[in-house]
Structures are given as C-alpha cells and as structure tokens.
Amino acid sequence: MNVIEIKNLTKTYGSSRGIEDVSFSVEEGEIFGFIGPNGAGKSTTLRTMLSIIYPTSGSVTIFGKDSVKDAPEIKKEIGYLPSEVFYYDNMRVKDLLKYSASFYKKDCRKRIAEMAEIMDLDLNKKIDDLSYGNRKKVGIVQGLLHEPKLIILDEPTGGLDPLMQQKFFELLKEENRKGATILFSSHILSEVQKMCDRVAIIKEGRIIAVEKISTLKENNHKKIRIETKIPVDAAIFEFTGVTNVEQDENTISFLYSGDINVIMQKLAGIELANLWVEEPDLEEIFMHYYEKEE
Amino acid sequence: MNMILRELKASRRSLIFWMAGILAMVAGGMSKYGSIQDSGQSMNDMMAAMPKSLQALFGIGSVDLSTVLGYYVVVFAYVLLMAAIHAGLLGANVIAKEERDKTAEFLMSKPVSRMQVLKSKLAAALFMIVIFNSTVLVVSVLMVQHYGGGNEDAGRLAILMMLLYLVQVLFLSAGAAIAAVSKKPKQAVSLSAGVILITYLLSIVIELSENLEVLRFATPFKYFEAKEVLFDIGGDWMFIALSVVLSGVLLIVAFTVYQKRDLNV
C-alpha cells in the first residue's frame, strides 16, 4: 500500500521557483529519501503535503486521503520536523512538548521522558536559551512523541553532532521497525545512503529520478583513474560511456559505464604508470545525474 | 482548548500592562477631578475659552466638567482610544504572530484545521477584551462613586461598557481580517495600527466640523457618544447594528481568506 502518493504536483509562487509536475509515491514501511540541493523544492513539496501551502495543481494523497480536504485527519498520524525549528520563545522545553502532545489524544509523557533521555535533552531549559542543535532535538522529540505512522523530516540532521545523529538514526530505524514510514529530505547523500531504501532526486523543482539506492549504486559505473608515464591527451577518452573526465598532468580520471572490455582495450594502448578501478560513491553518481540533465 | 490556553498564557503579561494602563488612566484622570472639583465652574469657563479644535483634541465637547460624570466623559475618550488600540493590535497579533515567529509550521503540522486555529485564537482574544472591558468598568464605577459621593448611576456606566465592547469587537475583527488577508505578517500589525489612527483622526475631524456628520459611519470612534449614553438617550440602534454587521463581515473575510491562503513560512 502507498502511504504517500504525489501526482503531478505543481506549486508556483510569486518569486521563488516552486515545484513542477512532481510525482512519486512512498510505500508503507519504507524509508524514502528525498534528495536535492538547497532550493530545489524539497521544503515546498513537504509543506504542500502538510497543507501549510496549497497545490497550484496536482494532488497529494496520504493514507488514501486528500491532503487538503482531510488535512487535520491525516495529521493525527504524521510527525513532522521542519528544516528550521522555531518555537514559542517564552516556553520551556517541557511546556512546548506538553503543548505539542496536547494535540493528540494520547498520553505521551513516558515517551517524552524516554526520548529526552536518549537525545540528552534538558526539559527544564527555556527554548530561548537552546543552541541550534538542541532546538533541533526539541523538534525531533516533538515530531515523534505521538508515535506517528508517517514521519516527515526536512533536513533533520543540521546542527546535530555525529554522535547525536547516530542516536537519531537509531531512533528512526526503531520507529521504522515498529512500522512507521519515513520520508527523509536531505541534501547530504551519505545520510540518505545510510538510511533509505529508495530516493527521489529533485532538481530545480522537478523530479529527475526515483531509484532504489541499491540500483543507483550498481548501475555499472566504474570510477577509473590512470597515471601515465608520459602526458596523454584526455581527448582519447571521449567516447560513449565515459563521463566526468578530469585531467591533472599525468593523471586522468573518469566515470565509465558500458562494456568493460572496450575500456580495457583502450587502456591497453596507453603506457600506464598506475591504474585504479573503483566503485564510485553515491555523491559522484548523483552529480552524474545532474550533469546528464543539463 | 489547548490553543486558547496557550494564547491566553502568551498574552498574559501584555494584558496586565494594559490593565495597569487603564488603572492609571481612569484613576489618575479622575483624581484630577478631585483637585478641580472645588473650582468646577471656573474650569468650565477656561475650557470654553479654548478654541474648538483644542476642545475636540482633548475630547471636551460641550460637557459640564464640574460634574463627576461630565468629567468622566473626557477621561473616557482616552479609554476608548486605548481600547481600540488594544483590540485592533490584539486581533492582528494573535493571527500574524504564528507566521511572524515562524511557529506556523509547527502548529499546522498538528491535527488541527485552519478554522480551529482561528476560532481558538479569536476566542482567546474576545476573552481578553472582556477582561479589558471589565477592568474599565470596575475602575470607572469605583472612581465615579468615590468622587460623586456614591450618588451616580452605575447602570449607565454598564451600558457604556457594553457599547465599548461592541467597538472593541469591531477593531478586533478588523485587526484579525487584516492579519488573515495580509501575506506579510510583519505588516499586519502596523496596517492595523494605521487603520486605528486614521479612524481616530477622522473622529476628531468630524468633531471639529459640523457638516461632516455623515462620515460617522466610517469611524467606530463615533458610533456612540459617551455623553449621550451617560446623560440621556443611550446608544444609537443604527450604529449598534452597524458595528455588529461590520464585525460579522470582517470575521467572515478573516475565516474565508485564512483557510485558503498559503501560510508564509
């Protein structure tokens, strides 16, 4: 079953870019990555899903219900962590969390205490006095305290130190094991790679690919780097399957996808000093996607 | 209920300041009456010697300053202005602040509709102007009774407060409508303040010039006259109806637009 179904969603506003014809769906129990550089339209998409802003055209269906018409109903089972966390300044952390919990017909006290313990969050501090990272933790607890079936995270790791990130990811994985679906938006590939089953890649307001992480990694790209004894013109590598050619004196590196024999024959004709053939990391594949689009 | 309580808590401090302001204005103003009481008639003569424009500015139109209620009419002109500012800014603020302080994203991710949000905020605001109004009533009755030797009619003051409440509701609704329509939350409060200022200036202009009576419709400051309420006929039904209808229309605008527009986050 699809927990989220986004169909031809377009949102245009005055000056900012917005999004155009965005479609993807997220299955129940999935950890779905939503990745793209800053300003690509990730937050716009998420805010439209939550009816903070309304679609210009297209539709979002969550739990089989319309995201605009049934917004309050849907939100009972959604936990949302916005990219920038702002809370009522004069409140203490525990008051904010109590207020947040008061919207759900559940007793969340135990869960608040548990999560504060895990995230190392002081409940008695004033929100004013918190650092960015600690505010983010408030946001995390606030978003998870009612054990939502769908967790929507917009750039959740900003400001968290690596140890905290680790704890946070474990928390998310635990929620996922219990059945929660997670939509995880980020511009940092490594964290998406670590967490997610599938990703949608967004660029300038349009989805350019929806892929399994495993597919992305195994699409036969090789990262090849050679060191030659005498300078060689990099132009000899300009043929089908070769991208991202970079030359630095006697070193040439590029990405290759295609018949491995073809490239080996090519390389055999060159006087090599050294050769590396590696799996490219996701970052490079990602850049590759971006360049292909242009 | 949780949103109403939150709103009341958030505005608690500011409301206390306003109540202190009312106390200072009414008690302070009336205590001056105590000091001029003896020279009452000469006070009247002095005021009468003032140019009409100055009289209008002080809110002294043809009332007998030697009587306690006559003097109270002058004090009340300032109370009315305070009440309008309080209600107008409150109406704009309760709505605009979620966007201005960027808490709208938090609030709207909760299982509540825009309708519920607006209802709760307005309920809290209406309650706060009741507190404001009651404070004015209590302080006014106490002061008027004190300086009038206990012979004055508190019932008339109560009617005056009911009319004041209608004007408060009208300014509150105007502020709310402005904030609901305005896409820039920071502008909403200043716009609302602008509306209060313009309608107030208009009321002074009307006071100065006899042939502008028709403009009374345009400024709630002129929907009723304290001296008429306190001394003879009470409120004017047409203006009472007008303020109720206008408030209703403004609230409908607020609800309709706020439910449909994108929140500024």
Are B94 and B176 contacting, i.e. CB atoms less than 8 angstroms apart?
Answer: yes
Report how far residue B261's alpha carbon sits from residue A234's, in angstroms, rounded to the nearest whole number: 55
Are residues A224 and A256 in contact, defined by beta-carbon separation less than 8 angstroms?
yes
pLDDT of B214: 83
Question: What is the pLDDT, as a whole number, of residue B62?
Answer: 66
Query: Measured between CB atoms, which of A47, A71, A102 is closest to B265?
Result: A47
Does the CB of B215 have a partner CB in chain A at under 8 Å?
A: no
> Which backbone phi and psi does A246 adopt, to 5 degrees?
-130, 140
Q: Which amino acid is at B149?
A: G
Residue from the list A52, A72, A78 with its beta carbon closest to the beta carbon of B112: A72
The CA distance from A99 to A90, in Å, is 13
In a domain, A38, yes or no: yes
Q: How many CA atoms lie within 13 A of A135 on its CB side?
A: 18
- Same domain? A168 vs A123: yes
For B183, the closest chain A residue by CA position comes to A14
Same domain, A209 and A228: no
Question: Domain for residue A6, yes or no?
Answer: yes
On whether both A7 and A120 belong to a single domain, the answer is: yes
For A211-233, write each residue's pLDDT tens digit: 888 877 666 678 888 998 888 88
Give which of B105, B117, B184 to mutate to test A binding, by max A Cβ within 10 Å. B105
Instruction: For residues A136 and A235, state if they share a domain.
Output: no
Does residue A164 sit within a domain? yes
Judge whether B134 and B168 are in contact, CB under 8 Å. Answer: no
Query: A145 to chain B nearest CA, in Å?
Result: 12
What dihedral do alpha carbons A278, A279, A282, A285 form, nearest 10°? 80
Q: Along chain A (294 residues), what's the average pLDDT of each consecutive run of 10 residues?
A: 94 82 95 89 94 94 96 96 86 94 92 93 92 92 95 90 92 95 89 88 89 76 86 81 84 85 86 85 67 56
Q: Are residues A206 and A228 in the same domain?
A: no
Residues A193 and A270 in one domain: no
User: Is the confidence at residue B204, as pLDDT, over 90?
Assistant: no
Residues A115 and A185 placed together within one structural domain of the fold = yes
Residues A45, A123: one domain? yes
A54, B262: Cβ pair inside 8 Å?
yes
How many Å apart are CA B72 and CA B79, to the nearest integer?
10
Residue A73 lies in a domain: yes
Burial of A33 (0-12, 13-18, 19+ CB in 10 A): buried
**Does A290 reside within a domain?**
no
CATH number at residue A207: 3.40.50.300
Interface of B with A in 86-145 (CB under 8 A): 101-106, 108-113, 116
Per the structure block, which two tokens stand in for A87? Answer: 């809370």
* Residue B169 in this model has a pLDDT that exceeds 60: yes
Q: Does A84 sit within 8 Å of B260, measured CB to CB? A: no
Residues A228 and A207 in one domain: no
Query: Which two tokens mark A47?
Result: 């805010």
- Same domain membership, residue A163 and residue A97: yes
**What span, in angstroms and rounded, lies between the C-alpha atoms of B248 and B260?**
19
The more confident residue out of A22 and B210 is A22
Q: Do A85 and A120 fall within a single domain? A: yes
Question: What are the backbone dihedrals phi and psi of residue A60, each rounded to the nearest 5 degrees, phi first?
Answer: -125, 130
Query: Which residues 6+ apart lie within 8 Å of B193 measured at CB?
Result: B85, B88, B89
Task: Return the closest-CA partner of residue B73 out of B82, B63, B81, B83.
Answer: B63
In terms of Cα–Cα distance, which of A199, A177, A197, A180 is closest to A188? A199
* CB contact burial B103-114 (16+ within 10 A = b; e otherwise): bbbbbbbbbbeb
Sheet strands (E) in chain A:
2-11, 19-27, 31-35, 57-62, 65-66, 78-81, 150-154, 181-186, 198-203, 206-212, 222-228, 242-248, 251-256, 272-278
Tokens of A127: 């929100």
Pick the residue from chain A with its C-alpha nearest to B97.
A88
The verdict on B259 touching A (C-beta cutoff 8 Å) is no
Q: Report d(CA B26, CA B73) in Å as an integer.
A: 11
Asked whether residue B157 carries a pLDDT value surpassing 80, the answer given is yes
Closest-CA residue in chain A for B7? Answer: A88
Cβ–Cβ < 8 Å for A115, A141:
yes
A50 at the B interface (CB within 8 A)? yes
Model pLDDT, residue B230: 83
Q: Are residues A70 and A86 in the same domain?
A: yes
Chain B CB within 8 Å of residue A78 CB: yes
Best mutation site among B109, B113, B264, B265 for testing chain A: the one with the most A CBs within 10 Å? B109
Domains: count for chain A: 2
pLDDT for B47 beyond 90: no
Chain B closest CA to A211's CA: distance in Å? 28
Domain annotation covers residue A293: no
Which chain A residue shows the shortest CA-CA distance from B114?
Answer: A72
* Residue A102 lies inside a defined structural domain of this protein: yes
Contact (Cβ atoms closer than 8 angstroms) between residue A56 and residue A96: no
Model pLDDT, residue A125:
93
CB contact under 8 A, A82 and B2: no
Backbone φ/ψ region at B149: left (φ over 0), alpha (ψ -120 to 50), beta? left
Write the CATH number for A237. 3.30.70
What are the residue ranges of helices labelled H in chain B?
2-36, 40-49, 52-58, 68-100, 104-108, 114-148, 154-181, 185-208, 226-231, 237-260
pLDDT interval class at B260 (50, 70, 90): very high
Q: Which of residues 18-57 of B touch A (CB under 8 A)?
A: none
- Amino acid code (one letter) for A189: L
Rounded to an integer, what distance in angstroms lies between the CA atom of residue A83 and that of residue B158? Answer: 52
ipTM of predicted complex? 0.86
A·B CB contacts under 8 A: 64
- What domain range is A245 assigned to? 222-278
Residue A115 domain-assigned? yes
Q: How far is CA B91 from CA B94, B125, B188, B218, in A?
A: 6, 7, 10, 19
Q: Hey, is the C-beta of A99 within 8 angstroms of any chain B C-beta? A: yes
Distance, in Å, from the CA atom of A235 to the CA atom of A111, rounded to the nearest integer, reads 61
Q: What pLDDT, on a 0 to 100 scale, did the predictor assign at position A288?
A: 67
Q: Which residue has the tokens 């990099």?
A: A234
Tell which residue, B184, B176, B185, B166, has the closest CA to residue B253: B176
